[in-house]
């Protein structure tokens, strides 16, 4: 509960009150002769911290609390209870809970990664609004702007770059805004007569993808393009562009956005779609989360569901460096000739111990077709026992697509592939993939990504790729995410994604390579949970060296903003290429004073890295 009190009015608070009086905008409008235009937001030189005299007084916070129906909360570290716990059992339980991504998501002061060496450590905001309505969000945006606060927006908290946490800030936390509604014939506001009605789903911005998948696929038998990880937030993923396992078939998630409701820096609730505020609509389809406003609702197109989704999983061990180089070439050729099309997605990891781990998924094919396709590849491997061993036998499976996100089905038939949210009273439709388990609470040493051009698959260039990849693995393992490059997708999906700000190098890339690594969760100040900074930095260097090897053969390396390097150089070019100048102009139009700040977000070059002090 928020603490109430009575507060004498000081000069400072009088001025603050005055600045919020409703008459001022009208007066400004009259003086400036610009009907309806709001006074320009002040462009602060620096934002206010709790230690500053200008930090809002308790009475102001209390007023905000009343405006948001009592949903202003004091944000605490998820380990607040750890330090006060009286026994080891209680302390162990807190650490165990923090291994559950749904539990982490339910903590206003926690993030899904615990930090990144020399970049950021997860830090709770001072206060947070546990928003339930668009009005709550409006109140938070207005309060932050009027009081010159550092504002943070958090959905499900998966940002690798730490965009959803900052010390000394006010948090708008959308976790409780998670309704999902389906439509048979959706037409965006203002689009009547311009766009045909189509099946769609409206998702509140705090929902996780599993909430959308359950409603759209399990319950309604349709498909919506989202992300692979079930606990990722809908709004965060879409604003970065968003890749699902089958993006070569269904395009980027952002390209499927039909409409959004967004609260901009001036506190206005705006609709953004192809017909209304189309510039803002374009910007939020990949311009990065936390930069243009707070999204409250998103409407996404839904599609017909394929009959089956399936997977091919295998691990092959090469017996020497030379054999591993051959294996890389063998697999790259196999990919180019048989898998480089809309049926296939997900990953192949090329590991430093000369292992190839294949985790590919497919849609639109029968299991027998997939077996026929892969048999020759596995036969070739088996016929060279002097070079290779099959470390884990190939598994090829297909399941009815409607069951793919059905927690009951998965618990029963594929229990090794999923972890349920086993907390008492938790939703029984919530699970996370075992493949994502290693990332929970991770403390990152390094994490980098680059799109790989399809030209490197051609006969005359493919040796360059194989050599670079082999050299990279001498430093660190590299994973190709084939679903995160759009080369090989249909012309329609590419055209739809072209109408988003994502760096156009994605259209001629057959994959995104991700090279990353980290250690267990880190909680500075808690004995035994401190980071090993020296080891982390050494590993960061190796990760960097691995990516350098690959980038040697990639002329214009671009990187995916949602899964990228905190220290990315020329990040504007890397994330958005020629689209950055347009994004910046839209940012200036809707957020001229820079209320919304995230690390390496559009317009963030105007601020110090902590987002507190303006430098331009």
Ligand X SMILES: Cc1cc2nc3c(=O)[nH]c(=O)nc-3n(C[C@H](O)[C@H](O)[C@H](O)COP(=O)(O)OP(=O)(O)OC[C@H]3O[C@@H](n4cnc5c(N)ncnc54)[C@H](O)[C@@H]3O)c2cc1C
Q: Applying CB under 6 A, which residues contact ligand X? A: 112, 153-160, 163-164, 174, 205, 227-229, 232-233, 235-237, 239-240, 242-243, 289-290, 294-295, 436, 439, 562-563, 598
Cβ-based nearer residue to ligand X, 164 or 302:
164
Smallest separation (angstroms) from ligand X to the CB of 95: 19
State the Cα–Cα distance between residues 581 and 61, nearest whole angstrom.
38
State the Cα–Cα distance between residues 282 and 499, nearest whole angstrom.
7
Residue 158, C-beta contacts closer than 8 angstroms, at least 6 positions apart: 111, 112, 113, 229, 231, 232, 233, 236
Smallest separation (angstroms) from ligand X to the CB of 26: 29
Cβ-based nearer residue to ligand X, 227 or 501:
227
- Note whether 397 and 406 are within 8 A (CB): no
Cβ-based nearer residue to ligand X, 128 or 155:
155
DSSP state of 336: I
Smallest separation (angstroms) from ligand X to the CB of 473: 23
Cβ-based nearer residue to ligand X, 131 or 323:
131
Residue 318 phi/psi, 5-degree rounding, is -90, 145
Sole residue written with tokens 């400072």: 12
Number of other residues whose CB lies within 10 A of the CB of residue 465: 21
Number of other residues whose CB lies within 10 A of the CB of residue 171: 27
Cβ-based nearer residue to ligand X, 240 or 549:
240
Smallest separation (angstroms) from ligand X to the CB of 210: 12
Smallest separation (angstroms) from ligand X to the CB of 147: 19
Cβ-based nearer residue to ligand X, 108 or 157:
157
User: Token pair of 520, please?
Assistant: 């267990």
Cβ-based nearer residue to ligand X, 439 or 473:
439
Q: How far apart are the first and last CA of the chain?
A: 40
Smallest separation (angstroms) from ligand X to the CB of 171: 10
Sheet containing strand 127-130, edge to edge, reads 72-74, 127-130, 170-173, 151-154
User: Token pair of 164, please?
Assistant: 């959803």
The CB-side HSE value for 452 (13 A sphere, CA atoms) comes to 31
Residue 134, C-beta contacts closer than 8 angstroms, at least 6 positions apart: 261, 263, 269, 296, 297
Number of other residues whose CB lies within 10 A of the CB of residue 551: 16
Q: What angle, rounded to 10 degrees, do the helices at 462-473 and 321-334 form?
A: 130
Cβ-based nearer residue to ligand X, 159 or 302:
159
Cβ-based nearer residue to ligand X, 128 or 240:
240
Smallest separation (angstroms) from ligand X to the CB of 58: 27
Smallest separation (angstroms) from ligand X to the CB of 463: 31
Query: Phi/psi zone of residue 54: left (φ > 0), alpha (ψ -120 to 50 degrees), beta?
Result: alpha
Cβ-based nearer residue to ligand X, 239 or 565:
239
Smallest separation (angstroms) from ligand X to the CB of 464: 28
Smallest separation (angstroms) from ligand X to the CB of 246: 11
Neighbour-count burial of 21, counting CB atoms closer than 10 A to its CB (0-12 exposed, 13-18 middle, 19+ buried): exposed
Instruction: Single out the residue of 318, 317, 356, 312 nearest to residue 338, CA to CA.
Output: 312
User: Token pair of 353, please?
Assistant: 């111990």
Cβ-based nearer residue to ligand X, 78 or 455:
78
Cβ-based nearer residue to ligand X, 163 or 557:
163
Smallest separation (angstroms) from ligand X to the CB of 426: 18
Q: Specify the long-range contacts of residues 193-201, CB closer than 8 Å, at least 24 apart.
A: 194/274, 194/275, 195/274, 195/275, 198/258, 198/301, 199/301, 199/302, 199/303, 200/258, 200/299, 200/300, 200/301, 200/302, 201/299, 201/300, 201/302
Smallest separation (angstroms) from ligand X to the CB of 191: 22
Cβ-based nearer residue to ligand X, 60 or 228:
228
Residue 189, C-beta contacts closer than 8 angstroms, at least 6 positions apart: 259, 271, 273, 275, 276
Smallest separation (angstroms) from ligand X to the CB of 291: 8
DSSP state of 117: T
């Amino acid at each position: 509960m928020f603490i109430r009190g009575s507060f004498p009015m000081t000069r400072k608070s009088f001025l603050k009150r005055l600045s919020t009086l409703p008459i001022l905008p009208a007066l400004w409008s009259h003086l400036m002769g610009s009907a309806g235009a709001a006074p320009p937001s002040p462009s602060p030189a620096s934002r206010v911290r709790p230690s500053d005299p200008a930090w809002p007084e308790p009475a102001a916070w209390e007023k905000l609390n009343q405006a948001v129906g009592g949903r202003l909360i004091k944000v605490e570290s998820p380990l607040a209870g750890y330090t006060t716990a009286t026994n080891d059992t209680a302390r162990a339980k807190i650490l165990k809970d923090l291994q559950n991504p749904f539990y982490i998501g339910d903590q206003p002061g926690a993030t899904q990664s615990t930090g990144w060496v020399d970049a950021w450590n997860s830090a709770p905001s001072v206060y947070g609004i546990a928003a339930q309505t668009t009005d709550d969000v409006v109140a938070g945006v207005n309060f932050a702007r009027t009081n010159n606060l550092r504002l943070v927006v958090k959905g499900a908290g998966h940002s690798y770059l730490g965009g959803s946490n900052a010390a000394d800030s006010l948090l708008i936390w959308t976790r409780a805004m998670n309704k999902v509604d389906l439509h048979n014939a959706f037409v965006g506001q203002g689009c009547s007569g311009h766009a045909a009605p189509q099946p769609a789903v409206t998702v509140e911005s705090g929902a996780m993808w599993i909430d959308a998948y359950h409603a759209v696929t399990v319950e309604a038998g349709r498909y919506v393009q989202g992300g692979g990880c079930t606990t990722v937030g809908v709004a965060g993923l879409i604003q970065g562009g968003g890749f699902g396992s089958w993006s070569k078939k269904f395009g980027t998630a952002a390209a499927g956005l039909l409409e959004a409701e967004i609260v901009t820096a001036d506190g206005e609730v705006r609709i953004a779609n192809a017909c209304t505020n189309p510039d803002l609509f374009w910007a939020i389809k990949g311009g990065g989360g936390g930069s243009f406003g707070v999204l409250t609702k998103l409407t996404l197109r839904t599609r017909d569901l394929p009959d089956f989704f399936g997977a091919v999983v295998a691990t092959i061990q090469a017996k020497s460096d030379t054999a591993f180089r051959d294996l890389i070439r063998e697999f790259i050729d196999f990919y180019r000739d048989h898998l480089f099309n809309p049926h296939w997605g997900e990953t192949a990891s090329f590991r430093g111990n000369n292992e190839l781990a294949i985790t590919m998924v497919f849609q639109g094919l029968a299991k027998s077709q997939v077996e026929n396709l892969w048999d020759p590849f596995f036969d070739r491997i088996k016929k060279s026992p002097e070079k290779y061993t099959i470390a884990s036998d190939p598994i090829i499976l297909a399941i009815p697509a409607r069951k793919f996100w059905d927690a009951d089905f998965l618990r029963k038939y594929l229990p090794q592939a999923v972890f349920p949210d086993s907390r008492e009273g938790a939703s029984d439709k919530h699970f996370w993939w075992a493949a994502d388990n290693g990332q929970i609470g991770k403390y990152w040493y390094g994490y980098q990504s680059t799109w790989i051009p399809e030209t490197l698959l051609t006969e005359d260039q493919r040796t360059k790729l194989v050599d670079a990849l082999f050299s990279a693995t001498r430093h660190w393992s590299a994973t190709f995410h084939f679903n995160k490059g759009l080369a090989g997708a249909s012309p329609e999906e590419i055209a739809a994604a072209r109408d988003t700000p994502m760096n156009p190098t994605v259209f001629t890339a057959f994959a995104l390579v991700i090279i990353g690594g980290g250690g267990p969760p880190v909680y500075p100040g808690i004995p035994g949970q401190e980071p090993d900074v020296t080891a982390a930095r050494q590993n960061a260097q190796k990760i960097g060296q691995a990516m350098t090897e690959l980038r040697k053969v990639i002329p214009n390396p671009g990187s995916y903003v949602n899964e990228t390097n905190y220290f990315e150089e020329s990040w504007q070019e890397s994330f958005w290429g020629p689209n950055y100048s347009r994004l910046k102009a839209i940012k200036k139009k809707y957020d001229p004073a820079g209320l919304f700040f995230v690390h390496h977000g559009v317009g963030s070059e105007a601020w110090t890295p902590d987002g507190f002090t303006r430098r331009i």
